Amino acid sequence: MAPMTTPKPSLAAALADLTTREARRALRSLGDDGDRHTGVHEARKSLRRLKSLLDLGGERFDANREPIVRGLTRLASSLSTLRDAHVAVTIARHVGGESPSERWSTAIAWLEARRDAMLDEALRKDPGFGKRRQRLAAIGAAITALPWDTVERPDIERALARSERRVAKAGGKAATQATTGNLHRW
């Protein structure tokens, strides 16, 4: 008797499943009360991935994609100052080295206190990031409801070609004007 094989999901079904898992990952990350700073960073990464996955739907999602992308962007923006404060601490620790000087130790302690105060204030206004998590759950439901079954290989190929053109354009700009913003965009 031949072993039974499970049929491969369609490309559209695989993308739909991936977006659902990514939305759940973002929710879990925002709910991570063990390490809030890492949770914020991981949630923002998941939000960026979700926006990229939505782009793969291209014209199939046009009518419904923009409000979802705006919601993801607003949510990511609402977390950006917290992420930036944590990055400042990480960079200061790296630059200060294993045995930072007294001045670096003072600066690092100040940055840590500032970062933690910002997080405390954000959590005071939105305990457990509950409001953000509710918005994210609603966005996740809207993403799941998109017509993923209509996405076909040519849609994905067009989206990837668009993305490659954007990367090349950003790379060209970064090569001629190597500003922090241009390098980051690239």
Q: Indicate the domain borders of the chain.
A: 12-151, 152-186
Mean pLDDT to the nearest integer, 53-81: 90
Rounded-to-integer distance, Cα 77 and Cα 72, Å: 8
pLDDT at 1 (0 to 100): 64
* Residue 18 predicted with pLDDT over 80: yes
* Residue 3 predicted with pLDDT over 90: no
Residue 47: half-sphere exposure toward Cβ, Cα within 13 Å? 28
* Residue 133 predicted with pLDDT over 70: yes
Q: Which residue has the higher pLDDT, 109 or 6?
A: 109
pLDDT at 180 (0 to 100): 77
DSSP 30-46: HT--S-HHHHHHHHHHH
Rounded-to-integer distance, Cα 131 and Cα 123, Å: 10
Burial class (CB in 10 A: 0-12, 13-18, 19+), 99: exposed
pTM of the model: 0.83
pLDDT at 36 (0 to 100): 94
Confidence category of residue 26, pLDDT binned at 50, 70, 90: very high
Mean pLDDT of the chain, nearest integer: 90
Confidence category of residue 124, pLDDT binned at 50, 70, 90: very high
**What is the C-alpha end-to-end distance of the chain, expressed in Å?**
54
pLDDT at 2 (0 to 100): 61
Q: In this predicted model, what pLDDT tens digit does every residue of 161-171 receive, in sequence order?
A: 988 998 999 89
Burial class (CB in 10 A: 0-12, 13-18, 19+), 81: middle
Q: In this predicted model, what pLDDT tens digit does every residue of 70-99 receive, in sequence order?
A: 999 999 999 999 999 999 999 999 999 999
Which residue in 39, 35, 59, 58 sits closest to 47, CA to CA?
Answer: 39
Q: Which residue has the higher pLDDT, 77 or 58?
A: 77
* Residue 47 predicted with pLDDT over 80: yes
Confidence category of residue 41, pLDDT binned at 50, 70, 90: very high
pLDDT at 80 (0 to 100): 95
